[in-house]
Amino acid sequence: MVLSKYLPCYRAATLPGARDIAFTVLGVQIGLTFTANTFSSIIPYLFPYTLLSSLMIGISLLIGSYISKITSIDKITALVGSSPGGLSAMIAVSESLKGNSALVTIFHTLRLISVLCIIPFYVVHGVTQPDTAVNTEIASISQEGEYWTIILYMICFLIGWKTRDRVPASLVILPMLIIGGLQPAGLSMYNLPEVVFLGAQLIIGSYLGQTISVNDLIKAGKTCIYFLTLATFVITLGILFSYILSWWTGMARVTAVLALAPGGLIEMAVTAEQANADPAIVSSLQTIRLLTIVVILPLLFKKFKSVRQRVAEKD
C-alpha cells in the first residue's frame, strides 16, 4: 500500500466510517476471545509485566532525552516521539504539550513499520513454543450465539465513536472491554462470520498504508536514523524481556513477545490472532501499557515542561 501510492495509475479512495467500523469489529473480535478465566489468568502477570513494561518505557525516554541533546529536536518532541505508545495517542499527547506533531508522527511511523516488519516474522519463525490456551478459547466461542446481540455490537460502536476524543483507541478498547465483560458473564454473543473479521483487518491494513508517506520520512532527514535505531533497540529489548516474562510467569513465549512488543494494541492483537498466541491476554496487557502511557506520561511531561519553564525564568 505504501509503495503503490507512488504508482502513476494509483488513485486512493476512502470510505467514510470504514476505519471506525473496522476498529470496532476488531474490538468485538478480541472481546469474544475473553472467557471467565481471562481476567483471573492475567493477575499473575500484572506485576512482572508492569515492571518490565515500565523499564522499557523508562529506557526509551532516557534515549529520547539523549537524542534531543545531540540533535536540534526539542526535548518534548523527542520524549513523546520515543515513547512506545500508539501513534494516535502520542499525537494527541504531542498536541496537548505543544510538541512538533509532524515529527512525532514520522518517528512513530518508523516504529510502526519496524514492528510490523520484525515482530510478525519473529513470532512465526523465531518462537517454537505454541500457545495452546488460545486454541481452547477460540473453540469455545465458535458456536452460534443470539442474533439480537448484534445490537450490542452497534451500541459498542456508538459508545466508542462518542468517546473517541476522550479515550485513546476507544473504538477498539471499549468494545473489547464491553464484550469481554459480557462474554464471561454467560451471555451468548453472536459470532460474526470470519469474512467480516478478515475484511476489518484488510481495511485497517489499508488505512495504515495510507497514513505512511515516504516523502514525510525523507523530510525528517538524518534524525530518522536515530529514532529508527531506537525503535529497533526497543523491539529487541521487548524480545529479550519476553524471555524473562515467560520464565517468571510461565506465559507462552509467543504471547509474551506480543504483549511486550511496542507495536500498539491493534497491531499486536491482529498478529496474536494469526500467530497462535492468546489475543485476550495480549490485548489485556497491551491495554495496561496503553493506559499507563496515556495517563501517566502526559502528567510527567507536563511536570517536566513546567520545571523547565521555571528554570528558564530564573536564568
**Could you tell me if residue 151 is inside a domain?**
yes
pLDDT at 90: 75
Q: What angle do CA 2, 270, 161 make, to 5 degrees?
A: 85
Task: Give pLDDT tens digits for 178-199.
Answer: 888 887 777 888 888 888 878 8
pLDDT at 237: 95
Task: Give pLDDT tens digits for 193-235.
Answer: 888 878 887 887 677 666 556 665 665 677 888 999 999 999 9
Confidence of residue 144 (pLDDT cuts 50, 70, 90): low
Mean pLDDT for all residues in the chain: 78
- Number of structural domains in the chain: 1
Query: How far apart (Å, rounded) are the C-alpha atoms in residues 91 and 103?
Result: 10
36 vs 15, more confident: 36
**Could you tell me if residue 8 is inside a domain?**
no
**Could you tell me if residue 12 is inside a domain?**
no
**Could you tell me if residue 315 is inside a domain?**
no
Predicted confidence (pLDDT) at residue 10 exceeds the cutoff of 60: no
Confidence of residue 15 (pLDDT cuts 50, 70, 90): low
**Could you tell me if residue 6 is inside a domain?**
no
Question: What's the per-residue H, E or C state across the chain?
Answer: CCHHHHCCCCCCCCCCCHHHHHHHHHHHHHHHCCCCCHHHHHHHHHHHHHHHHHHHHHHHHHHHHHHHHHCCCCHHHHHHHHCCCCHHHHHHHHHHCCCCHHHHHHHHHHHHHHHHHHHHHHHHHCCCCCCCHHHHHHHHCCCCCEHHHHHHHHHHHHHHHHCCCCCCCHHHHHHHHHHHHHCCCCCCECCCCHHHHHHHHHHHHHHHHHHCCHHHHHHCCCHHHHHHHHHHHHHHHHHHHHHHHHHHHCCCHHHHHHHHCCCCHHHHHHHHHHCCCCHHHHHHHHHHHHHHHHHHHHHHHHHHHHHHHHHHHHC
**Could you tell me if residue 184 is inside a domain?**
yes
265 vs 16, more confident: 265
pLDDT at 295: 65
The per-residue b/e assignment along 280-312, b for 16 or more CB within 10 angstroms, e otherwise, is: bbbbbbbbbbbeebbeebbeebeebbeeeeeee
CA distances (Å), 17 to each of 137, 154, 161, 164, in order? 30, 13, 10, 13
Lowest mean per-residue pLDDT among 147-151, 174-178, 213-217, 234-238: 213-217
pLDDT at 121: 86
Average the pLDDT over 99-110 and give the result: 81
**Could you tell me if residue 292 is inside a domain?**
yes
Write out the residue range of the structural domain in which residue 159 sits.
18-308
Predicted confidence (pLDDT) at residue 132 exceeds the cutoff of 50: no
**Could you tell me if residue 256 is inside a domain?**
yes
Predicted confidence (pLDDT) at residue 298 exceeds the cutoff of 90: no
